[in-house]
Amino acid sequence: MLVELAIGDAYGAGFEYAAPELVRRGNTLSGYVRHPRHHDLAPGHYTDDTQMSLAVVEWLLDDDPLHRTPEAATAALADRFVAAYRRDPRAGYAGGFRSVLDRVKTGAQLRAALRPASDKSGAAMRAGVLGLLPDAADVRRLAELQARITHDTPGGVAAAVGAAFAVHYCRHGLGPAADLPRWLAAQVPAPAEYGAWDRAYRGKVGSPGMSSARAAVTALAANRGTAALLRACVAFTGDVDTVATIALAAASVTPEYAADLPGVLVTGLENGAYGREYLAALDARLAERWGLLGHRGESADRQT
């Protein structure tokens, strides 16, 4: 799961808010590309979408948020956000948020510095792993809790719950992928100004989290292989690394999507201290705890 979502993030990062013509020419899945403006992000390197997802995974596996008070669980996750950034500072964060992370040393300091009034995609991009939990009430509760640290708005919270529920729907076989938009519309009320889950997303993906989440759900409903899914996510243009992160997280946990990402994207994903092998090790722990699909752990070997 983490390997797939990181591939989506890293591939999409090369096209984030790039000119539509560049996206049309370059979105071939033949390899990672360098963003035309963001030269501090090397091809094949993931962004804040994956780094914050890592923090959520480590929190879920090691801090037992299901059995802690909301305040204790929130405090532990804020500490994880800071620790993940401080051990591995990287590009991709919004400028304001990155400047806060550069200043603080603890989760308490982070929470004191933030004004979580954003409706952007930061809470949705990291919520997918929570969908592995078997109880939908737990998925909703933790998705909302983590969103409120940084994006405590109706749109920010709804996008995070929707991204987590997309994984939950796929992982637990609640229906065919084509019906995901309709199921989400019944489960997660969407603020009217962002559009309905069961209305196909069209056009460029803007900064609101609901835009990224809705685009990912539209792509999930229309494709049945991870390669076609990734291309569809990037073809929207705009905030496409987040769209791909959300969509690949969900597609990675169901056999309904063929595991056909090109090997060049698997082997080309960064493999430093917190790169591909670290992500795969966390995937193995998630599989042991919540039963990720076994064939997903083997997919990278088949694709290389």
Domain boundaries, the chain: 2-47+118-303
Query: Given this model, what pLDDT does residue 98 score?
Result: 95
Closest CA to 101 of 69, 139, 55: 55
Query: Given this model, what pLDDT does residue 226 score?
Result: 98
Residue 255 tokens, joined: 């056999």
Categorize the per-residue pLDDT at 150 as very low, low, confident or very high, splitting at 50, 70 and 90.
Answer: very high
Q: How many whole angstroms separate alpha carbon 180 and alpha carbon 188?
A: 12
Q: How many whole angstroms separate alpha carbon 264 and alpha carbon 267?
A: 5
In Å, what is the CA distance from 203 to each residue of 209, 241, 267? Answer: 15, 15, 31
pLDDT tens-digit profile of 211-265? 999 999 999 999 999 999 999 999 999 999 999 999 999 999 999 999 999 999 9
Query: Given this model, what pLDDT does residue 293 score?
Result: 59
Categorize the per-residue pLDDT at 3 as very low, low, confident or very high, splitting at 50, 70 and 90.
Answer: very high
In Å, what is the CA distance from 53 to each residue of 70, 124, 127? Answer: 19, 10, 7
Q: How many whole angstroms separate alpha carbon 46 and alpha carbon 269?
A: 8
The class that CATH gives domain 2-47+118-303 is mainly alpha
The amino acid occupying position 241 is: D
What pTM was estimated for this model as a whole? 0.95
At residue 299, does pLDDT exceed 60?
A: no
- Helical ranges in 177-293 per DSSP H: 180-187, 209-222, 226-235, 240-251, 263-267, 276-290
Residue 252 tokens, joined: 């990675």
Residue 165 tokens, joined: 């529920």
In this structure, the number of other CB atoms found within 10 A of the CB of residue 302 comes to 11
Residue written as tokens 């051990």? 87
pLDDT tens-digit profile of 179-216? 999 999 999 999 999 999 999 999 999 999 999 999 99
Closest CA to 45 of 274, 270, 272, 280: 270
In Å, what is the CA distance from 84 to each residue of 58, 59, 180, 293? Answer: 10, 11, 32, 27
Task: Report the phi/psi class of residue 76: left, alpha or beta, with left for phi > 0 and alpha for psi in -120 to 50.
Answer: alpha
Closest CA to 155 of 121, 181, 200: 121
pLDDT tens-digit profile of 39-82? 889 999 999 999 999 999 999 999 999 999 999 999 999 999 99
